[in-house]
Amino acid sequence: MYEFHLVALNGSPSSTSRTHAIAQQAVDLAGNGEIIELGALDADALLGRKSSPDVTSALETIERSTALLFATPIYRATFSGLLKVLADLLPPRSLSGKSCILAATGGSPQHSLAIDTGLRPLIASLDGWSVPTSIYLTHEDFDDEGRLVEIKTLLLEQAIAEAKSIPGVVRV
């Protein structure tokens, strides 16, 4: 039996953003996990110019995880550069056997397909399994306290349930 451990990657440069809020809510709903704030990591190490303990630790945490939540703001109709530079540091097949939940925040619904056109191919390129349910959020999907509205919380719960039981993922 394995212990489900969700690692949420906050691709926003801000730890107080709506993107962070979905990462935090996912970890809370999963019952076991942690958030990696990509904006707080050493920038030169993220770009591969040097090594840094915080980036090394983040990569090791990803390796040990059973599931990942990729949370990103959508900029210019694609995922954040922070997620891109982190993905560039991951070795081939590094997401093999991992369930991946895809979540994005944007200013309008017009960019919701960025999840399917950008994030799903990224996960596939590293041999990860994207769960069927993805979550795209605008400011209207958050209440006054910054938490997801009920229907979006239900979607996030569904995605977590899929991550826990996705077929084809080998659990060791």
- The answer to whether position 27 is within a domain reads yes
The parent domain of residue 37 ranges over 10-165
Residue 5 lies in a domain: no
pLDDT at 70 > cutoff 80: yes
Looking at residue 75, which CATH number applies to its domain? 3.40.50.360
Domain assignment present for 156: yes
Tell which residue, 163, 167, 3, has the closest CA to residue 67: 163
41 inside domain: yes
Pairing of strands 129-130, 135-137: unpaired
In the chain, what is the greatest distance between 2 CA atoms, to the nearest angstrom? 43
Res 1 pLDDT > 70: no
Residue whose pair of structure tokens reads 């303990």 in the numeric block: 53
What's the predicted TM-score (pTM) here?
Answer: 0.93
Given the structure tokens 């990509």, which residue do they identify?
38
Residue 42 confidence class, pLDDT cut points 50, 70, 90: very high
Question: Could you give the number of structural domains in the chain?
Answer: 1
Whether residue 4 is contained in a domain is answered as no
* Span 108-159, pLDDT tens digits: 999 999 999 999 999 999 999 999 999 999 999 999 999 999 999 999 999 9
Give the torsion sign (CA, 34, 35, 40, 45): positive
- Is residue 170 a part of any domain in this protein? no
- Cα–Cα distance between 111 and 113 in angstroms, integer? 5
Asked whether residue 145 is assigned to any structural domain, the reply reads yes
For residue 57, is it within any domain? yes
